[in-house]
Amino acid sequence: RTVEEVSMDPAVQQLLTKARQEGVETAFDRADAHTACGFGATGVCCNHCLEGPCRIAPNGKGPQRGICGASLDTIVARNFLMKLTEGAAPHAEHGREVALALLEAAEGKAPYEIRDPQKLLRVADGLGIETHGREVNEIARAVALKALEDFQQQTGVLNWLRYRGQKKSVAKWEELGLLPVNAHLEIAQSVTRTAMGCDADPLNLLLGGLRMGLVDGYSGLHMSTDLQDILFGTPTAVKAEYNMGVLDAKKINIAVHGHLPLLSEKIVTWAKQLRHEALAAGSEGINLVGVCCTGNELLMRQGVPVATSFSSQELVIVSGVLEAMVVDVQCIMPGIQQVAECYHTEIITTLPYVKIPGANHVDFHPDNADEAAQAIVRRAIANYGKRNPDKVAIPTVKTEAYAGFSVEQIVGALSALNEQNPLAPLLDAIVSGQIRGVAAIVGCTNPREQQNVGNVAVARELLKHNVLVVATGCSAHSLAKHDLMNEKGLEYCGEGLRAVLKAVGNAVGMESLPPTLHMGSCVDNSRPADLLTTIADTLDVHIGQLPVVGTCPETHSPKALSIGTYFLAHGVDVHVGVSPQVKGSEWVTQTLTGDRTDEELNLDKLFGGKLIYETDPFLAAQKMLDRIDLKRRALGL
Ligand code: BF8
Ligand code: SF4
């Protein structure tokens, strides 16, 4: 593919051209070199045991069962559940890591403070923890222990689900026997049920997938967001810069990449404190830039600029000005090391279970957070002198974008219009049709896809039809880079939506709210979920009855699938623009997409929402609008 066919981002195009001229291979080149395996792509290849791999040709040719007798539907459903488990597990680990950090902080063993004590009190209250007359650290400790219970208890239901789940949805899950007990137990059981000789019932396997969605949603998303807000502050609206032009040739550039804010927050602190050392090294200071979701975390709370998203992560290094790329966990391509070896960039891994051959390692634990962050910043400073001026080329492309739209911030902005009942202006606009519905654009970019095209096209199309768009993860990067998070993007909005954005914006002293609202990282998909819970409770309806959709047009990650499944369990329609690899089984596909008419059981009938798989962004938007309209009609709107 040409650079234009790879990405619609001019900065990516420029750096990919440079990489190709310099003989540096990236994920985009490897994506072109790989041909997709038809069996894997449709979910019909099973390698769950050493009898296999067994592959079932969907056209009826060849053996129609695996050696053990597993049917096509079993194999496809089992593979799908495995994917969802692989999505839920990293998010649950994220929640657990943050809970442990909070516990250590509360016990004075780790150098973090509680930056949002008000949120701590609200969360403690929601969890039924006594707060009256107790010290902040004592409450924080109790909250952390409640969180850790969600990885230990052998009976009961996840504390976070009881706390954050919408009561009407929880009742539904209870009726279906889907309530998770503890995240680790559920993940272990899910791995067990997909093992050879265990669960062979496709429907039961798919329901297991919904359970994984709930594990992801509550032990991953909600727990992580709540505890991170307590530790690092709840985001408020912030203006920042996006794209490769945020790199600064005169400064020492450090990219923070991955997901956990535990170390990267400390790097922000130490980059400021060690500025004098950076000056002494002959630079003009230290410039931190974000990549992927660590980037989102720092953007939301600290206004740190974002360099790029998942599929172009290697290209930040190709700029030739990156002294260090610090990574923690998830979505880190091993390929960054091969690219770094062509420049002076040092790749620094930081977690004992995430290492890359050739990269250097600085071990991070919450208790040594300050020492680790200092050591990393100093390594970057030491690398500055190794920069090769002949290899420096920073694209001048950058865009301004607003971020920081936590639920607290959105409700705060709305209360400038109606202090007594802040949600009223939003609900009125939905009822009147000024806002037709709400869409959350979530998920990634994918080297096989033309970067940003799906995310941006879906967003523009929904905006045009007056759908209020919120965004998270790398899809938010796509929207920000293409002016959908600043005033310029207002031209894409339908009249009704634009009027609402302007009215709320004016009330808080802005020209307008941005056309799409950045709600944070992928674990922050808890935020749109909380917003929906608040709206649904106000209207006394089930979340699935609301005219809302979720969409991940360009995903690459099983995490996006399990987040999607979390929303599906609420009855929210979820669009995915990249194949979820279930096509090999008509039964599985139609159960997910709600198209099975022969029997009662499909996702739409069970939960009131379904999976929409559509690669064309315009058709996808149309299908989502149809579902929004259907739900509006059912509500009498
Ligand atoms: O958790 S959006 S590419 S960085 S998986 Fe990964 Fe996808 Fe980016 Fe964030 Ni989410
Ligand atoms: Fe084949 Fe069954 Fe083993 Fe899968 S579990 S590889 S279908 S024998």
pTM, two decimal places: 0.97
Tell me, yes or no, whether 140 lies in a domain: yes
Q: Is the CB of 47 within 6 Å of ligand 2?
A: yes
Same domain, 142 and 248: no
The answer, yes or no, to whether residue 517 has pLDDT greater than 90, is yes
- Bridge partners of 349, per DSSP, are 327, 361
Which one of the ligands is nearest to 522 CA? 1
Q: Tell me the ipTM for this assembly.
A: 0.95
For residue 284, give the CATH number of its domain.
Answer: 3.40.50.2030
Note down the domain range covering 120.
86-232
What six digits make up the tokens of 19?
């990489």
Q: Is the CB of 145 within 6 Å of ligand 2?
A: no
Euclidean distance between CA atoms 513 and 490, whole angstroms: 9
pLDDT for the residue 110: 98
What six digits make up the tokens of 322?
């990156």
Same domain, 210 and 272: no
Which one of the ligands is nearest to 69 CA? 2
Ligand 1-lining residues (CB < 6 angstroms): 259, 292-293, 310, 331, 443-444, 473-474, 521-522, 557, 559-560
Tell me, yes or no, whether 454 lies in a domain: yes
DSSP helix/strand/coil, 54: strand
Same domain, 154 and 190: yes
Same domain, 206 and 289: no
Same domain, 385 and 450: no
Tell me, yes or no, whether 285 lies in a domain: yes
Query: What number does the ligand 1 atom closest to the CA of 523 have?
Result: 1
pLDDT for the residue 245: 98
Ligand 1 centre distance from Cα of residue 558 (Å): 10
Same domain, 321 and 377: yes
Nearest CA, atom 4, ligand 1: 292
Ligand 1 centre distance from Cα of residue 149 (Å): 27
387 touches 323 (CB < 8 A): yes
Q: Which residues in 65-82 are b (16+ Cβ under 10 Å) and which e?
A: ebebebbbbbbbbbbbbb
Ligand 2 centre distance from Cα of residue 202 (Å): 15
Same domain, 538 and 415: yes
- Examine the fold and report which residue of 198, 232, 266 is the final residue of a domain before the chain moves on: 232
Tell me, yes or no, whether 40 lies in a domain: no
Which of the listed residues 292, 327, 330 should we mutate to test ligand 1's pocket, taking the one with most ligand atoms within 8 A of CB? 292
Ligand 1 centre distance from Cα of residue 291 (Å): 10
- Examine the fold and report which residue of 391, 413, 431 is the final residue of a domain before the chain moves on: 391
Residues of the chain above pLDDT 90, percent? 96
Tokens 């759908």 found at: 467
pLDDT for the residue 597: 74
Query: What number does the ligand 1 atom closest to the CA of 330 have?
Result: 6
Same domain, 215 and 264: no
pLDDT for the residue 59: 82
- Examine the fold and report which residue of 363, 391, 419 is the final residue of a domain before the chain moves on: 391
Same domain, 406 and 537: yes
Q: Render pLDDT for 559-605 as a digit per residue (tens, 0 to 9).
A: 999 999 999 999 999 999 999 999 999 999 999 998 887 666 788 98
Nearest CA, atom 2, ligand 2: 68
Which of the listed residues 93, 257, 330 should we mutate to test ligand 1's pocket, taking the one with most ligand atoms within 8 A of CB? 330
Tell me, yes or no, whether 351 lies in a domain: yes
Average pLDDT value for residue range 457-482: 98
Tell me, yes or no, whether 124 lies in a domain: yes
Same domain, 281 and 330: yes
Report the number of distinct structural domains present in the chain.
Answer: 3
Is there a cis peptide before residue 53, judged by omega within 30 degrees of 0?
A: yes
Q: Is the CB of 54 within 6 Å of ligand 2?
A: yes
Q: Is the CB of 71 within 6 Å of ligand 2?
A: no
Tell me, yes or no, whether 44 lies in a domain: no
Tell me, yes or no, whether 442 lies in a domain: yes
pLDDT for the residue 193: 96
Q: Is the CB of 195 within 6 Å of ligand 2?
A: no
- Bridge partners of 253, per DSSP, are 287, 322
Same domain, 281 and 315: yes
Ligand 2 centre distance from Cα of residue 264 (Å): 43
The answer, yes or no, to whether residue 228 has pLDDT greater than 80, is yes
Q: Render pLDDT for 411-458 as a digit per residue (tens, 0 to 9).
A: 999 999 999 999 999 999 999 999 999 999 999 999 999 999 999 999
For residue 209, give the CATH number of its domain.
Answer: 1.20.1270.30
Q: Is the CB of 52 within 6 Å of ligand 2?
A: yes
Q: Render pLDDT for 104-133 as a digit per residue (tens, 0 to 9).
A: 999 999 999 999 999 999 999 999 999 999
Same domain, 471 and 362: no
Q: Give the Cα-Cα-Cα angle 260, 265, 267 (nearest 5 degrees).
A: 110
Euclidean distance between CA atoms 399 and 395, whole angstroms: 12
Nearest CA, atom 3, ligand 2: 49
Ligand 1 centre distance from Cα of residue 48 (Å): 27
What six digits make up the tokens of 359?
């990269």
Nearest CA, atom 9, ligand 1: 293
Q: Which of 275-279, 313-317, 355-359, 595-599 has the lowest mean pLDDT?
A: 595-599
Nearest CA, atom 10, ligand 1: 522
230 touches 106 (CB < 8 A): no
Question: Could you give phi then psi for residue 307, rounded to 5 degrees?
Answer: -85, -50
Nearest CA, atom 5, ligand 2: 196
Q: Is the CB of 571 within 6 Å of ligand 2?
A: no
The answer, yes or no, to whether residue 304 has pLDDT greater than 90, is yes
Please, which residues have CB within 8 angstroms of residue 208's CB and are 6 or more apart in sequence? 81, 190, 193, 199
331 touches 557 (CB < 8 A): yes
- Bridge partners of 467, per DSSP, are 437
Q: Is the CB of 48 within 6 Å of ligand 2?
A: yes
Which one of the ligands is nearest to 200 CA? 2
